[in-house]
Structure 1
Amino acid sequence: MTQQNPTVWVTLQARNPLALIDYYVDTFGFILTARHGGDTVKHAELIWPEGCGGIMLGAHRPGAAWCREPGTAGAYVVTADPGGCYERVVSRNADVVQPLADTDYGAREFVVRDPEGNLWSFGDYTGEQRG
């Protein structure tokens, strides 16, 4: 099966984009595919190895047309192995907001907060089937 490029991107700005990129790669397991702008990080791309979603991020630039406050985002990442993913983030001392648990809608998932304050939920819920 050919891997498709992401069709939906979470877009973030960070006060310390270099550290956040390293965190996403080491703690979550994202793959860095592009980084532009040197230490300033004008644009970076990271993809999720299990699917076709990704993150675009760059340095926080107040006053820019596409400016958002760092640390206010939330995202859900689908993983086939929530338990293994949870073990990985816990072993790297992630800030666990909600431990791994089964939900009333049949998913197994957990929530962590990244160093900038964004909330990330990882689980095996793939959404409702299309009608």
Structure 2
Amino acid sequence: MTDNTPSPQVWPTLRARDARGLIRFLVEAFGFEETAVYGEGERVDHAQLSWPLGGGIMLGSVRDTPDDKWTLEPGTFGAYVVTDDPDALHARAITSGARLVQEPYDTDYGSRDFTVRDPEGNLWSFGTYRGEPRKG
């Protein structure tokens, strides 16, 4: 039997008040890899953080300008991220300052999950559930 689950091609995007600080946190606490960061000084125009198992996120500094076409309120983002070792990642995240929302637990569909918030208030759920294979 082959797995028809495709490689990730959806890149969740968020804005941050302290984008460079959030990048440092996401790398240290969760293990994202800093792939690209564009901007000057503390401003981040665009950043790509890759997830070791595939896919990743994009983020930038919040912009309080009337011509901003991509307005997102910092701290309102939420994501589910697949990990092979949620218990070790939970310990790493808490040690790095993530705010606990839900301790690791086993779901009724076979996943092991936990949930935390980053310093900006974004919600991050990590677990072993990789989604269901596509039909046909």
Structures share a fold, TM > 0.5?
Answer: yes
1:15 alignment partner in structure 2: 17
Instruction: Name the aligned partner's letter for residue 56 of structure 2.
Output: G
1:102 alignment partner in structure 2: 106
Q: C-alpha displacement at 1:7, in angstroms?
A: 1.7
For the residues of structure 1 that align with 2:33 and 2:71, how far apart are their CA atoms?
A: 24
- Name the TM-score, length of structure 2 as normaliser: 0.87
1:43 alignment partner in structure 2: 46
For the residues of structure 1 that align with 2:90 and 2:120, how far apart are their CA atoms?
A: 19
Which of the pair has the greater relative contact order for Cα pairs under 8 Å at 6+ separation? 2
1:115 alignment partner in structure 2: 119
Distance 1:6 1:42, change over 3 A: farther
- 2:63 is paired with a residue whose SS is coil
Q: C-alpha displacement at 1:84, in angstroms?
A: 1.4
1:82 aligns with 2:115: no
Structure in which a larger fraction of residues adopt strand: 1
Instruction: Name the aligned partner's letter for residue 94 of structure 2.
Output: V
* Over 2 Å off, 4+ runs: none
- The structure whose Rg is larger is 2
Give identity over the alignment, percent. Answer: 55
- Name the TM-score, length of structure 1 as normaliser: 0.90
Instruction: Name the aligned partner's letter for residue 71 of structure 2.
Output: C
User: What runs of 5+ residues in structure 2 fail to find an aligned partner?
Assistant: 1-6
For the residues of structure 2 that align with 1:117 and 1:87, how far apart are their CA atoms?
A: 19
Q: How many residues align?
A: 126
- 1:40 is paired with a residue whose SS is coil
